[in-house]
Amino acid sequence: MAERRYRVFVYGTLLTGEDNHPIAAPYVRDVRPGKVKGRLYNVGLYPALVLGEEGEVEGEWLTVTEEGLKAMDELEDYGEGRDDNEYERVWVRDVCQPLEGYVYVYRPEKAVGLPLIPSGSWRRRKENM
C-alpha cells in the first residue's frame, strides 16, 4: 500500500535546522521554500502565524508521512474538533507557486498584544537578536 503523504507549511521551530525539526525529520519526504499571506507574531520561544491578506510569512513546505503529521499535531497540541487547541490546522496556499497544504495557525484574538515580527521570517528575527 502506498504511503500517505501530507504537505505542511512550517514557519518556526519546525523549519529545517530549528529546535523542533527533529520531531518531523524522520517523516519528511520533501522540503521546498515557500510563503503564505499573513503576519508572524513572537510568542517567546516560538512564533504564531495569523492568516490574512496583509503581509507574507516565509517558511518551508514539508511533505511528511501520516506519522509525521501526527507527530506535528502532538507538538502543536492540536486535536481535530477540540475547542482548546493552541493552534488550529487549516488549509493554505502558497503566495508564489502552485503549492498548498496544511498550516498551524493562531486565532487572531490570541495574537492581540503579541510583538509582530515585521520581516515575516522566524529565521531573520533570530538573526537580529
Catalytic (active-site) positions = 76
Residue 85 CB partners (closer than 8 Å, separation 6+)? 76, 77, 78, 79
Pairing of strands 100-105, 5-10: parallel
CA 52 from centroid of its chain's CA atoms: 14
